[in-house]
Amino acid sequence: METIIFIAISIFTLMIAIEFLYGIFVGRNNYRLNDAISSLSQGALSQIISVFTQLFQIGIYTGIYSSLTLFHHGKFWNEWYSFIVAIILYDFTDYWLHRMSHEVAFLWAAHVVHHQSQEFNFTTALRQESFYPVVGFVFFIPMAILGVPPTTFAIAGLTVLFYQFWIHTEHIGKLGWFDRIFSSPSNHRVHHAINAQYLDKNYGAIFVIWDRLFGSFTEEKEKCVYGTIEPLNSWDPVWAIGHVFCKLTKNAIATPRWSDKLKIWWMPPGWMPQDLAQQPLEGTFSEVKYFYNPAMSRTSAWFAGVHSVIIFTALCLFLWYEEALPTTISLGISAQIIAMLWIVGSVMQGRLKTGKGLWIELLMLAIISGVMFNLL
């Protein structure tokens, strides 16, 4: 698995570099350092958290497969075409997880991080959700009951995930017949857009035919505006994955009726009980006020860039050796990486000066190292 991840990281890094250089060459560069680092930080967080959520990613699936499978077709799943079947089944169940993540508030809270970037490029593809496996694993239980082996399930999941990388670009136009069957850059731009006619459309990961069958497809016609209706307006990676959960919790506490306390989590995103109802957002989606791009000094930009290289290198090494590390060490390294990501986000946002960021970084390193040493 580590080898697959490192091959994927190498390919993704190369493709990001190619897209960036191509954008400059044709005069349509859509990369910003702060936005790209923010997206990559979410990818780093998702990989760190995945280390500690294997129970939800594959453990529960394996348990259900071992005890509740209705169809035992071991020979079938050894054939080459079984992987095609598994990919289709995974893509179908993923469609419903994805769709429900736009229609159910607590699922949206886990998924929203993937939509927060106001740019649309290959780094957006790596802006992955940290808590998605924890809240979304139940959608894949039918595959276990149908007898899809855990290894085949995992490979199908990686295939669907890796496929989606290339469709996060503005540099590939419409592809004719391909757009009618498969999820493509044109189709997926629509999904990430907040234009009124594009909201909650084109959920398919590999196949867009699910959207056509279940009435959630729309074609790209006008220029897409990206992000979320209520913009994040922050580069804080921890706040990015938690702010909607915080808002739901706050509203659930504030509303007096117990039925509403539960509804807040299960109703569509943005739903509010009458006692907490607010006026809808004003203005159009294309107004500048929705574009978040605080100025960064050259020093802050260098700080963010250099630290990001250090962080992502440390993350790769951690993921490579993680299985051989004691849990205490893994937790300590993870905490330090998360702390550094937060510091970089705070520097880019202007909440911390670079010097203060370095001092906080060293202090956190000393504290975490001390705790790890005492626990060993």
- At residue 270, the pLDDT reads 86
CB 17: neighbour CB atoms within 10 A? 11
Same domain flag for 265 and 202: no
Per-residue model confidence (pLDDT) at position 76: 83
CB 49 within 8 A of CB 363: no
In this structure, the number of other CB atoms found within 10 A of the CB of residue 290 comes to 20
Q: Let me know if residue 218 belongs to a domain.
A: no
Query: Do 50 and 192 share a domain, yes or no?
Result: yes
Provide the residue-wise pLDDT of the chain in tens; the chain has 376 residues. 667 777 888 899 999 999 999 999 999 999 999 999 999 999 999 999 998 988 878 899 999 998 888 877 777 888 888 999 999 999 999 999 999 999 999 999 999 999 999 999 999 999 999 988 888 999 999 999 999 999 999 999 999 999 999 999 999 999 999 999 999 999 999 999 999 999 999 999 999 999 999 999 999 999 999 999 888 999 999 999 999 999 999 999 999 889 999 999 999 998 888 888 764 444 344 444 468 888 899 999 999 999 999 999 999 999 988 888 888 899 999 999 999 999 999 999 999 999 998 898 888 888 877 776 666 6
**Residue 62 near residue 211, CB atoms below 8 Å:** no
State the pLDDT at residue 232: 92
CA distances to 89, 164, 177 from 92, rounded to whole Å, are 5, 14, 20
Task: Count other C-beta atoms under 10 Å from residue 196's C-beta.
Answer: 9
User: Given this model, what pLDDT does residue 280 score?
Assistant: 47
Residues 367, 376: Cα–Cα separation, whole Å:
14
- State the pLDDT at residue 3: 72
Of 192, 221, 188, 44, residue with least CA distance to 118 = 192
Residues 14 and 162 in one domain: yes
Token readout for 82 is 């079984």
Angle at 290 (CA atoms; ends 288, 291), nearest 5 degrees: 70
- Model pLDDT, residue 278: 62
How many domains does the chain divide into? 3
CA distance 285 to 228: 9
Same domain, 248 and 365: no
Domain presence at residue 367: yes
**115, 129, 159, 228, 229 from 249: Cα distances, Å:** 21, 19, 35, 20, 20
Tokens 């607010």 sit at which residue? 278
String of DSSP letters for 31-44: --HHHHHHHHHHHH
Q: Are 273 and 153 members of one domain?
A: no
Model pLDDT, residue 2: 63
What is the domain extent for residue 274?
A: 237-280
- Inter-residue contact 20 to 12 (CB < 8 Å): no
